[in-house]
């Protein structure tokens, strides 16, 4: 801070006789009381207070309050639009959830029907395969029975000859003589029936 020599000089202390204000050099009695606290100025102060309050009231009523009211109306409109949009979106979300649940139920139903169809198809294929195998086994069994019958028939044809040979040897061993083949064949045939 710059200090000049004019301001740096100290003033002489004020004397009690004829007190003067140090800055202005005006006696203290000339000033009187502080004007806002002076009872003589109260009526003019009240008048200016009323005028100022009235002008401030008109300013608030005509300028500030309409702007504040407009801002509040705009916000109310925005909030109501946001609430309407939110309820609309909620309705759409609920509809989407309902559609999803319906599609899920249909998918489960379709999955069950597809599973049932697959099970039925597998059973049908298994039955078809089983029938083919049974038919093949029945055919092989018939062929085996026919072979057994032919083998048995051929064996039975040979059994007669073996029985005749055996019977003639037994007769020879027991009797000591030879028996005629016709007699042995007739005896074997009579026993075989």
What's the chain's Rg over C-alpha atoms?
Answer: 69
Return the pLDDT at 39. 87
Delimit the domains of the chain by residue range: 38-192
Percent of all residues in the chain with a pLDDT value above 90, rounded to a whole number:
53
Per-residue pLDDT of 85-130, as tens digits, reads: 999 999 999 999 999 999 999 999 999 999 999 999 999 999 999 9
Return the pLDDT at 89. 96
CB of 167 within 8 A of CB of 184?
Answer: yes
Classify residue 120 as exposed, middle or buried by CB count within 10 Å of its CB (0-12, 13-18, 19+): exposed
Report residues of the chain scoring pLDDT below 70: 1-32, 192-193
In order, the DSSP letters of the chain are: ----HHHHSPPPPPPSTT-B-TTT--BHHHH-S-GGG-GGGHHHHHHHHHHHHHHHHHHIIIIIHHHHHHHHHHHHHHHHHHHHHHHHHHHHHHHHHHHHHHHHHHHHHHHHHHHHHHHHHHHHHHHHHHHHHHHHHHHHHHHHHHHHHHHHHHHHHHHHHHHHHHHHHHHHHHHSSPPPHHHHHHHHHHHH-
* pTM for this predicted structure: 0.37
């Amino acid at each position: 801070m710059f200090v000049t020599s004019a301001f740096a000089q100290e003033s002489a202390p004020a004397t009690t006789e004829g007190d003067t204000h140090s800055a202005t050099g005006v006696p203290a009695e000339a000033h009187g009381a502080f004007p806002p606290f002076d009872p003589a100025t109260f009526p003019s102060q009240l008048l200016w207070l009323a005028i100022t309050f009235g002008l401030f009231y008109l300013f608030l009523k005509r300028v500030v309050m309409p702007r504040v009211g407009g801002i509040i109306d705009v916000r109310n409109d925005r909030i109501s639009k946001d609430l309407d949009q939110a309820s609309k979106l909620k309705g759409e979300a609920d509809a989407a959830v309902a559609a999803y649940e319906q599609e899920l139920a249909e998918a489960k139903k379709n999955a069950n029907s597809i599973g049932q169809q697959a099970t039925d198809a597998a059973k049908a294929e298994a039955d078809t395969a089983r029938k083919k195998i049974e038919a093949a086994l029945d055919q092989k069994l018939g062929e085996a029975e026919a072979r057994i019958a032919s083998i048995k028939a051929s064996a039975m044809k040979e059994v007669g000859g073996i029985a005749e040979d055996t019977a003639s040897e037994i007769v020879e061993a027991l009797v000591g003589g030879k028996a005629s083949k016709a007699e042995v064949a007739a005896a074997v045939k009579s026993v075989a029936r």
